[in-house]
């Protein structure tokens, strides 16, 4: 689970968040429950490689604030989520403590 300091960031409007960076750890809110999980940014609009994307049918993120992430679940497994936008709702990402 995420630290209680994560919750203090909920008052900052996503419009003012910094652009996410490759390898950055973020909070990903589960699409099913909305519970925040730790995730790592694996692709940004700036780091997208069209050649690799064509081989794997991978589309680039739709904006500079959208990212592809690898989510770590509490059970130890991980899974990918594509084109995730910023925010606090289900299926969105938010910065972790110290990122703002």
| Model pLDDT, residue 11 | 57
Residue 87: Cβ-neighbour burial (10 angstroms; 0-12, 13-18, 19+):
middle
| Model pLDDT, residue 98 | 58
| Model pLDDT, residue 4 | 46
| Model pLDDT, residue 5 | 45
**Quick one: how far is CA 88 from the chain centroid?**
11
| Model pLDDT, residue 79 | 95
| Model pLDDT, residue 57 | 82
Number of residues that make up the chain: 100
Q: Name residues of the chain where pLDDT drops below 70.
A: 1-12, 97-100
| Model pLDDT, residue 75 | 87
């Amino acid at each position: 689970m995420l630290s209680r300091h994560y919750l203090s960031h909920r008052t900052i409007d996503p419009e003012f968040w910094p652009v996410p960076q490759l390898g950055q750890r973020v909070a990903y809110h589960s699409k099913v429950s909305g519970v925040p999980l730790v995730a790592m940014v694996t692709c940004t609009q700036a780091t997208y490689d069209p050649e690799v994307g064509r081989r794997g049918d991978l589309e680039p993120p739709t904006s500079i604030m959208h990212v592809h992430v690898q989510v770590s679940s509490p059970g130890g497994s991980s899974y990918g989520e594509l084109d995730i936008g910023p925010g606090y709702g289900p299926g969105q990402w938010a910065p972790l403590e110290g990122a703002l």
